[in-house]
Amino acid sequence: MNSETRTAAVLIATALVATLAACAHPDALREGQTRAELDARFGRPAAERHDPDGDVLIYSSAPLGQRASAAHLDARGRVSRVEPLLDTEHFATIRVGEWNKNDVLTHFGTAAQFSRVAHYEVWSYRYREAETWDSLFHVMFDAAGVVRQVQNGPDPLYEHNDNGRN
């Protein structure tokens, strides 16, 4: 295979993967969809919880994506509202000293990265702060699984060296 054919094959494969990924992207959630339609199109949610108004299903593009959305289901099992989650406003709802791992999971879905820093377990979520900066939001848990600190910072996945490459 010559280099032009190889390049064309890579571009076609990349476009196909991007197209397939877009079909199940959390931004594709729509009001009116049923739980069965969500299951068929998106598969199992990253997390779910029951709120007084109904079930909330969290769909995420983690670990590499920067989006997660909540599909709020009404009493009939249809999506009544879609809510993007990974932003400063939603991260500000985390209650340090009160929330635990399950609270964070059922409000934001699975983290992109898991690590340890000192005596904390850290869950990191990729997101675009102010839809401008590629960022990570870090949630730090103590040994009992209670949130003790939160902070954000740049996402090293998107930092570039002098050649413009990761």
Instruction: Please state, in angstroms and rounded to a whole number, the distance separating the CA atoms of residues 7 and 60.
Output: 31
Last residue of a domain, one of 28, 55, 84: 84
pLDDT digit string, tens, across residues 64-77 = 999 999 999 999 99
Q: Are residues 11 and 74 in the same domain?
A: yes
0.85 exceeded by the pTM?
no
Over residues 102-128, mean pLDDT: 97
Indicate the number of domains in the chain: 2
Last residue of a domain, one of 50, 84, 118: 84
Q: Are residues 41 and 95 in the same domain?
A: no
Distance between alpha carbon 125 and the CA centroid of its chain, in Å?
Answer: 7
Q: Are residues 115 and 131 in the same domain?
A: yes
Of 31-40, 41-50, 117-126, 152-161, the poorest mean pLDDT is in: 152-161
At position 88, the amino acid (one-letter code) is T
Other Cβ atoms closer than 10 A to 66: 21
pLDDT confidence of residue 22: 40
Q: Are residues 131 and 52 in the same domain?
A: no
Last residue of a domain, one of 32, 56, 84: 84
Q: Strand runs (DSSP E) across the chain, as ranges?
A: 47-51, 54-60, 68-73, 79-84, 113-117, 120-129, 133-141, 147-154
pLDDT confidence of residue 128: 95
Instruction: Please state, in angstroms and rounded to a whole number, the distance separating the CA atoms of residues 3 and 80.
Output: 50
Q: Are residues 77 and 148 in the same domain?
A: no
pLDDT at 150 over 70: yes
pLDDT confidence of residue 126: 97
pLDDT confidence of residue 53: 87
Residue 130 belongs to domain spanning: 86-166
pLDDT band for 166, please (50, 70, 90 cuts): very low
Q: Are residues 97 and 34 in the same domain?
A: no
Instruction: Please state, in angstroms and rounded to a whole number, the distance separating the CA atoms of residues 92 and 82.
Output: 19
pLDDT digit string, tens, across residues 2-60 = 555 454 443 444 444 443 444 468 889 999 999 999 999 999 999 999 999 899 999 99
Q: What is the mean pLDDT of the chain?
A: 87
Q: What CATH number does the domain containing 100 carry?
A: 3.30.1450.10
Q: Are residues 95 and 130 in the same domain?
A: yes
Instruction: Please state, in angstroms and rounded to a whole number, the distance separating the CA atoms of residues 73 and 82.
Output: 9
